[in-house]
């Protein structure tokens, strides 16, 4: 009996595929490069002009991204977030064309402007070969009807082209969101306006729910997707999300656009993660001028550490495609470098929006959606490319030197000068300020107990050495308002890309190369069909057929008393 049982289990285990869906912990140590497919790179390295203020397609493609992965990986990013992939309205609307991908018309087809199913699969496998992950932006909340002429009720809108929901009854009754303090209004009325209404999907209808769950399972599987950025998460009832996320079977990061930690936190219970909007607002205002309020950043971060379910996987960003770029507020290089440092030294996953590394300055939408190819993907003499490359390498080195780095909540070390901020996240110490590059004031960060006694630390941004005192404290004068990121010299490899002349770490240690990635390559997805399938699943979404079969067989065996 035992031998038979052993044999059956062994055969079952051998049959299990070696691919695993990427979970929150698989994403925790990663760094994400956010790109708009239409604006990142054109096929065959073409570079036709793009005027973002026209809000028209500029012809970036998935092939274009595949050809430029060296650029992204060279800065130390090991995952990308791409804009929505499904077919959108083709018309030029009152707000331009759907180049950003958020105006879905047919979620069972891909957006032909960005390429074919094979192109998207090729991007996914190219990423996996490099040990990189693919995050795709998905929209559940709404579709956009072609004849978007608003009337007083949704029955008079044309839903016939929407796939797979082509009836008025598949959508909530026509009403625009008017009261952001009324959650039912936020969830069941429509985004957009009378010029371009976003038809709000009836996510209360069980058959629509199950269609969406099957859709996401098929999408993730067909294209080997490792994570989802979930658009408009706050516009769909919270209890919709757990089953959707489980069907996807991969890491989920929700967009809950609001500055209020208390409002955002409950979404970290129903999704793996959220975009850290509350701390985005306090971060931006803290460093946007010399009078920015650093203590408001401390307060919001402290509140979010207490209320987010897993702060270590929350997405931290200074820029994205919806908000004016930081350099549209200030171009003081010291303030810019301080603000840009934050996402890489805090508790969550850093996200960099394309173009920030190139110093783009676009203001409100759509000016902040510049084409990246205008830069020629040049990385030499680009101080912010160097800045993020170093920050990525330092974060990897800190994680390699201390296995609890990524999960240890950062601590603020109180400073006397309100223009200074000191953060301890062992073995890393980040020293930030909003003094700006022209301040005449002399100021010094003082932080006790942040290192080992007499430890030799290196500011990775300048390669200057900082020696800790006998009780592990540091005292570091501010130079030109610039940030400093200290890590032990022993955590940096002597033959590495980061400050090799002062590094004392073993040759070949992590941090030895800016493009080092910790991920293991994942085989490319096996599904061959081009269309995105909507099928019924068994509820083991995203785990792969092998796992599903194993699960069902094991349940069967258990039921028979095995």
In the complex, the smallest distance separating the C-beta of residue 157 from Ca ion, rounded to whole angstroms, is 16
Residue closer to ligand ABC (CB basis): 289 or 443: 289
Strand ordering across the sheet containing 315-317: 273-274, 251-254, 227-230, 133-138, 79-82, 32-35, 349-353, 315-317
DSSP 426-486: TTEEEEEE---TT-----EEEESSSS-TT-EEEETTTTEEEE--TTS-EEEE--TT--EEE
259 is in an annotated binding site: yes
142 is in an annotated binding site: yes
Longest dimension (CA), the chain: 83
What b/e string do you get for 168-194 counting C-beta neighbours within 10 Å, with b at 16 or more? bebbbebeebeeeeeeeebbbbbbbee
Judged by beta carbon distances under 5 to 8 A according to partner kind, the member of ligand ABC, Ca ion, none in contact with residue 469 is: none
Judged by beta carbon distances under 5 to 8 A according to partner kind, the member of ligand ABC, Ca ion, none in contact with residue 180 is: ligand ABC
H-type alpha helices, 224-310: 241-248, 261-264, 267-270, 277-287, 294-307
| Footprint (CB under 6 A) of ligand ABC, residues 228-267 | 231-232, 234, 255, 257-259
In the complex, the smallest distance separating the C-beta of residue 187 from Ca ion, rounded to whole angstroms, is 5
Is the alpha carbon torsion for 163, 169, 170, 172 positive or negative? positive
Q: How many residues bind Ca ion (CB under 5 A)?
A: 4
Please say whether the beta carbons of 228 and 259 come within 8 A: no
Judged by beta carbon distances under 5 to 8 A according to partner kind, the member of ligand ABC, Ca ion, none in contact with residue 196 is: ligand ABC
Phi and psi angles of residue 64, each rounded to the nearest 5 degrees, phi first:
-60, -40
| Footprint (CB under 6 A) of ligand ABC, residues 134-193 | 139, 180, 192-193
In the complex, the smallest distance separating the C-beta of residue 37 from Ca ion, rounded to whole angstroms, is 25
Q: How many residues bind ligand ABC (CB under 6 A)?
A: 20
260 is in an annotated binding site: no
Among 200, 226, 255, 347, binds Ca ion (CB under 5 A): 200
Task: With CA atoms as reference, report the closest residue to 527 among 120, 224, 115.
Answer: 224
| Footprint (CB under 5 A) of Ca ion, residues 42-81 | none
Choices 66-74, 227-235, 341-349, 494-502 (CB under 5 A): range interacting with Ca ion? 227-235
Whole-angstrom CA distances from 519 to 10, 22, 27, 335 are 28, 11, 10, 33
Cα–Cα distance between 200 and 103 in angstroms, integer?
12
Residue closer to ligand ABC (CB basis): 314 or 509: 314
| Footprint (CB under 6 A) of ligand ABC, residues 266-325 | 281, 321-322
Task: With CA atoms as reference, report the closest residue to 220 among 252, 177, 179.
Answer: 252
38 counts as binding ligand ABC under rule CB under 6 A: no
Among 196, 216, 428, 492, binds ligand ABC (CB under 6 A): 196
In the complex, the smallest distance separating the C-beta of residue 321 from ligand ABC, rounded to whole angstroms, is 6
Cα–Cα distance between 164 and 417 in angstroms, integer?
58
Judged by beta carbon distances under 5 to 8 A according to partner kind, the member of Ca ion, ligand ABC, none in contact with residue 26 is: none
Quote the tokens at residue 58.
């500029």
Please say whether the beta carbons of 110 and 116 come within 8 A: yes
Judged by beta carbon distances under 5 to 8 A according to partner kind, the member of Ca ion, ligand ABC, none in contact with residue 365 is: ligand ABC
Please say whether the beta carbons of 140 and 201 come within 8 A: yes
Choices 15-23, 114-122, 134-142, 497-505 (CB under 5 A): range interacting with Ca ion? 134-142
Is the alpha carbon torsion for 477, 481, 482, 484 positive or negative? positive
Residue closer to Ca ion (CB basis): 235 or 337: 235
Residue 427 preceded by cis peptide, ω within 30: yes
Quote the tokens at residue 125.
């496998």
| Footprint (CB under 6 A) of ligand ABC, residues 507-526 | none
Neighbours of 51 (CB within 10 A): 12
Choices 181-189, 325-333, 340-348, 514-522 (CB under 5 A): range interacting with Ca ion? 181-189
| Footprint (CB under 6 A) of ligand ABC, residues 80-139 | 95, 100, 102, 139
Among 128, 235, 325, 425, binds Ca ion (CB under 5 A): 235
Q: Which residues are annotated as a binding site for Ca(2+)?
A: 141, 187, 200, 231, 235, 255
Q: Which residues are annotated as a binding site for substrate?
A: 103, 142, 229, 259, 322
Chain residues binding ligand ABC by CB under 6 A are: 95, 100, 102, 139, 180, 192-193, 196, 198, 231-232, 234, 255, 257-259, 281, 321-322, 365
Chain residues binding Ca ion by CB under 5 A are: 141, 187, 200, 235
Q: Which residues are annotated as a binding site?
A: 103, 141-142, 187, 200, 229, 231, 235, 255, 259, 322
């Amino acid at each position: 009996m035992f031998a038979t049982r052993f044999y059956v289990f062994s055969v079952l285990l051998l049959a299990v595929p070696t691919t695993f869906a990427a979970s929150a912990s698989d994403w925790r140590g990663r760094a994400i490069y956010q790109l708009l497919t239409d604006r990142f790179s054109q096929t065959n390295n073409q570079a036709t002009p793009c005027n973002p203020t026209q809000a028209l397609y500029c012809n970036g493609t998935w092939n274009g991204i595949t050809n430029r992965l060296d650029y992204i990986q060279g800065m130390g990013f090991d995952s990308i977030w791409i804009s929505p992939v499904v077919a959108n309205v083709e018309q030029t609307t009152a707000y331009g064309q759907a180049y950003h991908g958020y105006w879905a018309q047919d979620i069972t087809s891909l957006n032909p402007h960005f390429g074919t199913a094979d192109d998207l699969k090729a991007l996914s496998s190219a990423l996996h070969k490099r040990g990189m992950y693919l995050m795709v932006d998905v929209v559940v909340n709404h579709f956009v009807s072609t004849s978007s002429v608003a009337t007083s009720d949704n029955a008079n809108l044309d839903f016939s082209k929407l796939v797979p929901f082509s009836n008025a009854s598949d959508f909530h009754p026509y009403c625009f969101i008017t009261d952001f303090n009324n959650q039912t209004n936020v969830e069941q009325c429509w985004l957009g306006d009378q010029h371009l209404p976003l038809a709000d999907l009836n996510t209360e209808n069980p058959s629509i729910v199950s269609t969406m769950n099957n859709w996401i399972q098929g999408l993730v599987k067909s294209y080997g997707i490792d994570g989802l950025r979930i658009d408009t998460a706050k516009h769909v009832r919270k209890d919709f999300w757990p089953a959707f996320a489980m069907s996807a079977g991969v890491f989920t990061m929700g967009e809950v656009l609001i500055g209020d930690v208390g409002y955002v936190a409950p979404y970290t219970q129903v999704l793996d993660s959220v975009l850290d909007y509350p701390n985005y607002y306090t971060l931006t205002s803290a460093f946007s001028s010399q009078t920015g309020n650093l203590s408001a950043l401390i307060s919001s971060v402290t509140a979010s550490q207490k209320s987010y379910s897993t702060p270590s996987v929350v997405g931290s960003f200074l820029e994205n495609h919806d908000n004016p770029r930081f350099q549209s507020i200030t171009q003081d290089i010291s303030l810019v470098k301080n603000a840009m440092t934050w996402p890489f030294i805090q508790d969550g996953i850093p996200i960099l929006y394309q173009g920030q590394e190139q110093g783009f300055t676009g203001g409100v939408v759509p000016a902040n959606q510049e084409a990246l190819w205008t830069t020629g993907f040049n990385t030499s003499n680009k101080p912010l490319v160097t800045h993020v490359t170093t920050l990525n390498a330092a974060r990897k080195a800190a994680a390699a030197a201390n296995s609890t780095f990524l999960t240890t909540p950062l601590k603020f070390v109180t400073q006397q000068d309100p223009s200074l901020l000191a953060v301890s996240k062992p073995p890393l110490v980040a020293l930030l300020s909003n003094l700006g590059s022209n301040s005449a004031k002399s100021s010094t960060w003082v932080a006790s107990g942040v290192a080992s006694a007499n430890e030799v630390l290196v500011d990775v941004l300048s390669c200057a050495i900082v020696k800790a005192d006998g009780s592990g404290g540091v005292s570091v004068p501010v130079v030109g308002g610039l940030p400093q990121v200290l890590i032990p010299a022993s955590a940096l490899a002597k033959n590495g890309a980061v400050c090799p002349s002062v590094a004392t770490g073993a040759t070949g240690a992590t941090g030895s190369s800016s493009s080092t990635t910790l991920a293991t390559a994942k085989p490319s997805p096996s599904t061959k069909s081009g269309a995105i399938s909507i099928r019924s699943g068994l509820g083991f979404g995203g785990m792969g057929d092998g796992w599903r079969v194993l699960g069902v067989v094991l349940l069967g065996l258990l039921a028979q008393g095995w």
